[in-house]
Amino acid sequence: MRVVKAFARQEYEIDRFEVENHKKLKQGNYLIFLNGVFWPITDILCGIQMLVGFYLGARMAVAGTISVGDFLVYSGLVIQLIWPIRNLGRLVAQMSTGFVSLQRVQQIIRQEREPLDDGRHETTDRLQGEVIFDHVYFAYETPASPAEQAQAIATNGNTPLQQSNGHGVSSDSGLHILASLDREYVLQDINLRVSPGRVVGLLGATGSGKTSLVNLLPRFYDYTEGRILVDGVDLRDYKRSYLRSQIGIVQQEPFLFSTTIRNNITYGLGRDVSDEEVEAAARAAAVHDVITSFPKGYETMVGERGVTLSGGQKQRVTIARSLLKDPSILILDDATSSVDTETDAEIRGALRNLMKDRTTFIIAHRVQSVMEADVIVVMDRGKIVQMGTHYELLNQPGIYRRVYDLQARIEAELEQEIADAVHRADAKLETKQNGQGGAAEKV
């Protein structure tokens, strides 16, 4: 709705709705017409058949061809049979409608349910938070594994360099197959060890695989190759329900339910929560003052998807929700993307102490959001291309230093523009005041 209003497309959308609505109206009127014509005609035809049959049977009974008893039996059979046969048409129409509805219901019923309790490792203890990625590959549409790719080239009968086109480039079809399969991987050969309580910053361009990497931890998806260990246990051996109870996530696009702010913060805890706990989480997320400024405070209703709150306010409410959960592993998927620089600093300051006892993954596009992390992982096209602390990465050529220099230059230019604008405004105000003072002296 906001997009329609922003582009002044109300009239266009109204016209489009009227066109579609008119089509539905014509189709509905045509269906009513067919029903209104079909059933009276079938009634008339059935009535005519019965009258003709009764007339001929009566003549045969009068002529002595059949007895009166036979005529009465015939009449009864006609009355008992003709109306059910007539209703077969109605039954066929209802069956066709029912089959369409059945197919739609079956599409939902046949959807595979995500197994939440399929893990073999039984535990109720809190995770320590050690995470190890060991040669992890992942693809949304699972391609052949590296071993299967090698087998595909081997079965082709040649190695990639056995058939050269004269320019040092192989024309072997197996090589093309291998290249196409490689491109399907979202993550390739990820090797990363995270000790408990450490903060890991993930930096990279859009589509580099940062979100896909952290989405493997709560088993939203299962990795294709390699293995992921959490506290020394293979990730697939944990139950999904247990993992997700130990992992807190702040998504890149915050989602709030159409209920009170308090209910949104306490969502998914499964226990009674005191007001003090809710307020503590809200303070840590730098949203308490915003909430208390509303007339109803924490009982303020938010619309569907939180339309009554700004983007930054929604983001901080979801951060408070994750903090109240007190997870062992915290995932911040570009969690400060919808807040200004001042609020970003407030949130990072509040989270600094809360991250001490939990493993934290911070996904960000701004260097300032990850520069205090214990280790920064730079990703490009699904691979880890750089890893180290902020100062280590600044002292080596690569993506991180280029991004840092670019963002620093942009911020410097912006600060200079603001300073120039303030200077011009001050000069203009001073000139105006001097002019007014001169006019007063003349008077």
Q: DSSP readout, 356-416?
A: TTSEEEEEESSGGGTTTSSEEEEEETTEEEEEE-HHHHHTS-SHHHHHHHHHHHHHHHHHH
Q: Do 232 and 316 lie in a common domain? A: yes
Q: Do 195 and 97 lie in a common domain? A: no
Residue range 85-133, pLDDT digits in tens: 777 777 877 888 888 888 889 888 887 777 777 777 777 788 888 999 9
Judged by DSSP in three states, 20 sits in: helix
CATH for 244: 3.40.50.300
- Beta-strand pair 233-234/225-230: antiparallel
Residue 443 belongs to a domain: no
Q: Do 82 and 190 lie in a common domain? A: no
pLDDT computed for residue 200 by the predictor: 92
Please give the residue range of the domain that contains residue 335.
131-139+185-396
- Chain-centre distance for alpha carbon 109: 21
Q: Are 343 and 312 in contact (CB under 8 A)?
A: yes
Give the integer Cα–Cα distance in Å for 96 and 350.
61
Give the integer Cα–Cα distance in Å for 380 and 187.
10
Q: Do 43 and 189 lie in a common domain? A: no
Residue 55 belongs to a domain: yes
* Main-chain dihedrals φ then ψ at residue 202, nearest 5 degrees: -110, 120
pLDDT computed for residue 176 by the predictor: 40
pLDDT computed for residue 167 by the predictor: 33
Q: In what order do the strands lie in the sheet with 375-380?
A: 247-250, 329-333, 359-364, 199-204, 375-380, 383-388
Q: Are 159 and 172 in contact (CB under 8 A)?
A: yes
Residue 401 belongs to a domain: no
Residue range 19-57, pLDDT digits in tens: 999 999 999 899 888 888 888 888 888 888 888 888 888
| Sign of the C-alpha dihedral computed for residues 376, 380, 384 and 387 taken in this order | negative
Which class for 131: exposed (0-12), middle (13-18), buried (19 or more C-beta within 10 A)? buried
Residue 415 belongs to a domain: no
Residue 248 belongs to a domain: yes
Q: Do 301 and 372 lie in a common domain? A: yes
pLDDT computed for residue 150 by the predictor: 58
Q: Please list the ranges in the chain whose pLDDT falls under 50.
A: 143, 156-183
- Give Cβ neighbours of residue 82 (< 8 Å, ≥ 6 apart): 46, 49, 50
Residue 71 belongs to a domain: yes
Give the integer Cα–Cα distance in Å for 203 and 398.
12
Nearest to 273 by CA among 320, 331, 316: 320
* Phi-psi map region of 219: left, alpha, beta (phi>0 left; psi -120 to 50 alpha): left
β-pair partners for 276: none
pLDDT computed for residue 357 by the predictor: 77
Q: Do 77 and 203 lie in a common domain? A: no
N-term to C-term CA, the chain: 59
pLDDT computed for residue 408 by the predictor: 78
Q: Are 283 and 231 in contact (CB under 8 A)?
A: no
Report CA Rg, the chain.
Answer: 36
Residue 266 belongs to a domain: yes
Q: Do 105 and 214 lie in a common domain? A: no
Q: Are 389 and 358 in contact (CB under 8 A)?
A: no
Give the integer Cα–Cα distance in Å for 97 and 31.
13
Q: Do 135 and 38 lie in a common domain? A: no
pTM check: above 0.75: no
Q: Do 94 and 135 lie in a common domain? A: no
Q: Do 241 and 273 lie in a common domain? A: yes
Say what angle helices 311-325 and 341-354 make with each other, to 10 degrees: 0
Number of domains in the chain: 2
Q: Do 102 and 135 lie in a common domain? A: no
- Beta-strand pair 199-204/225-230: unpaired
Q: Do 313 and 348 lie in a common domain? A: yes
H/E element, 188: strand 187-194
Residue 174 belongs to a domain: no
